[in-house]
Amino acid sequence: MHVLFVEPAFPLYQRQFVRGLHEAGARVTGIGERPLDALDSELKHWLYKYEQVSSVCNEPEMTRIVKAIQAAEKVDRIEATIEAHIMPTARVREACGIPGTTVKTSYLCRDKPSMKEALRKAGIPCAQSAAIASAKEAYEFARSVGYPVILKPRDGAGASGAARVANDAEMAQAIREIYLDRGRSVAIEEFIEGHEGFFDTLTIGGEVVHEFVTHYFPNVLEAMRTRWISPQFIASNRLMQPSYDELRDLGRRVIKALDIETSATHMEWFFGPKGLKFSEIGCRPPGVGAWDLYCAANDFDLYREWAFAIVHGRPDQRPSRQYSAGIIALRPSQDGHVREYRGLEEIDRRFGAWKIDQHLPPVGSRTAPVEGGYMANAWMRFKHPDFDELRRMLDTVGQTVKVIAE
């Protein structure tokens, strides 16, 4: 099988999808923005051919390149795994007559108001939401559902660009910050109180063949805006227990309603006083190293499983469900430069046997803003057979390890 893979070199984990395709027996042609000389020898070894473009989101250029490749040999698939690349790749895919995720499905998995409208019609429980393009519409929605509400880009990923608005004054500020008063269309949603997590799958022909449930501690908006919090997310090894049945069923209903065929998916959800609610879904893998946690927790290679789904239309391994696995982000005490780390020796002494890996920027490194996410600064990843014990471990790491900046 000949597979075109969009942007194989950046971010760094993109190479794992290329490796998986190579190991699954595919001939992989990479299409990316870097020159061939910028790719390392290992990545070049996994690639059959490589084409450079000015931008992988430049649809006319991408279409021209893909059609030129097709003129020389058959192309069976073209795949993208980065949120911003999903829609352009879908349009190129359809323009070139290549099977895979459709433009319609890609759009519904990208545009939040349209996504929610389609899912409400399918009976999926969602927060009340709308697409708005004026301050007047924003205030009318807030009066209709009540504060607080969430404003976010229509095509944003996760909490990127999202703002929680609790009153008219905060609404006015948010309107200015997101340029809504200049006619920009954005999504507005009812704020759902409750615990937040994500449900990730690998689907083949619309059927879930691998699934994973991950919990946020605390919820994302709070985690991305509060420096003193060392936020975590933990992938559970309990997802086959009955308490997860409703969530697993919800995920399958969403996949069916959006006509997702063979793809990775990343679905956010809330559970609280109003019950289980769908938040949003991407027709792609999750970011921030979540698949690495799934691999470590389940003693298998999910990147290779994704490739087997694409190349052979079947899974190759079964997850062990032996461990829960999680990451904790370690925020610097202030913006500036890393001066020192405290508490590392104690954590290694107490939990070193369960550590998967860690990232500790060298002393002197410039810090990244808190809103940069879970892997923007220092982080550690651990696994343990017991979910509750792992959570206690990560809490202890957050209380013990200090990143001092100046």
Q: Tell which wins on pLDDT, 388 or 173.
A: 388
Give the position of tokens 């200090």: 402
Q: How confident is the model at residue 152 (pLDDT cuts 50, 70, 90)?
A: confident
Nearest CA among 68, 115, 57, 52 for reference residue 90? 57
Q: Tell which wins on pLDDT, 399 or 131.
A: 399
Q: How confident is the model at residue 224 (pLDDT cuts 50, 70, 90)?
A: confident
> Which segments of 136-242 are extended strands (E)?
149-153, 163-165, 186-190, 195-204, 207-217, 232-235
Nearest CA among 291, 352, 359, 295 for reference residue 323? 295
Least confident of 45-49, 218-222, 233-237: 218-222
Question: Is the pTM for the entire model greater than 0.85?
Answer: yes
Which residue type is seen at 59?
A: E
Distance CA 9, CA 49 (A): 13
User: Residue 136: pLDDT above 70?
Assistant: yes
Taking residues 193-220, report their average pLDDT: 97
User: Residue 174: pLDDT above 90?
Assistant: no
Q: In this structure, are residues 232 and 217 in contact, taking their beta carbons and an 8 Å threshold?
A: yes
pLDDT attached to residue 185 = 81
The structure tokens listed for 271 are 């559970």
Taking residues 203-231, report their average pLDDT: 94
pLDDT attached to residue 371 = 87
Q: How confident is the model at residue 182 (pLDDT cuts 50, 70, 90)?
A: low
pLDDT attached to residue 217 = 97
Whole-number percent of the chain with pLDDT over 90: 85
Q: In this structure, are residues 235 and 294 in contact, taking their beta carbons and an 8 Å threshold?
A: yes
Alpha helices (runs of H) in 289-328, residue ranges in sequence order: 290-298, 302-312
The predicted-structure confidence for 328-360, as pLDDT tens digits, reads as follows 999 999 999 999 999 999 999 999 999 999 999
Helix, strand, coil % over all residues of the chain, rounded to 5? 40, 25, 35
Whole-number percent of the chain with pLDDT over 70: 97
Taking residues 204-211, report their average pLDDT: 98
Tell me if residue 326 falls in helix, strand or coil: strand
Taking residues 78-103, report their average pLDDT: 97
Distance CA 1, CA 127 (A): 42
Distance CA 248, CA 251 (A): 5
Which residue type is seen at 238?
A: R
Which residue type is seen at 117?
A: E
User: Residue 183: pLDDT above 70?
Assistant: no
User: Residue 160: pLDDT above 70?
Assistant: no
In order of their start, the domains of the chain are 2-100 (3.40.50.20), 128-190 (3.30.1490.20), 195-405 (3.30.470.20)
pLDDT attached to residue 154 = 73
Q: What is the average pLDDT value for the chain, to the nearest integer? A: 94
User: Residue 247: pLDDT above 80?
Assistant: yes
Taking residues 223-234, report their average pLDDT: 92
The predicted-structure confidence for 299-332, as pLDDT tens digits, reads as follows 999 999 999 999 999 999 999 999 999 999 999 9
Q: In this structure, are residues 24 and 310 in contact, taking their beta carbons and an 8 Å threshold?
A: yes
**Would you say how long the chain is, in residues?**
406
